[in-house]
């Protein structure tokens, strides 16, 4: 019988360890480009934070990715990340609403 491992990752906001399914990832490629990685499949160094809106907003507002990646990230790149996160959050809300309607029927 196969036992699934529970992979834990450290959140950059509070330093606590959480299961990967509760976290969202930001990835830094070898080129130094930081991208939002909701599917957790991009190559490069990753930084994780909780999926909650307030926590993601704290990461972007306090520029916590600078410390996580040991690199100064420009304000324009933070704005691009914020836009990507907003689009992702809207799709998550739509998916949640669809699942709720399917459960109710």
Q: What is the pLDDT of residues 56-74, one digit of tens each?
A: 999 999 999 999 999 999 9
Contacts for 66 with CB less than 8 Å, ≥ 6 apart: 72, 73
| Range with the poorest average pLDDT among 27-31, 41-45, 76-80, 94-98 | 94-98
CB 92 within 8 A of CB 49: no
CB 26 within 8 A of CB 37: yes
Closest CA to 36 of 87, 84, 102, 92: 84
State the pTM of this model.
0.82
CB 15 within 8 A of CB 30: no
Q: The tokens of 93 are what?
A: 């809300």
Give me the residues paired with residue 85 across strands.
none
pLDDT of residue 18: 95
Q: What are the structural domains of the chain?
A: 8-104 (3.30.1230.10)
């Amino acid at each position: 019988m196969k036992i699934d491992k529970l992979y834990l990752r450290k959140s950059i906001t509070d330093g606590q360890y959480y299961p990967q399914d509760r976290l969202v990832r930001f990835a830094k490629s070898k080129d130094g480009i930081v991208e939002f990685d909701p599917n957790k499949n991009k190559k490069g160094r990753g930084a994780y934070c909780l999926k909650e809106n307030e926590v993601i907003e704290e990461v972007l507002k306090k520029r916590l990715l600078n410390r996580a990646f040991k690199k100064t990230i420009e304000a324009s790149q933070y704005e691009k990340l914020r836009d990507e996160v907003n689009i992702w959050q809207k799709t998550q809300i739509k998916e949640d609403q669809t699942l709720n309607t399917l459960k109710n029927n």
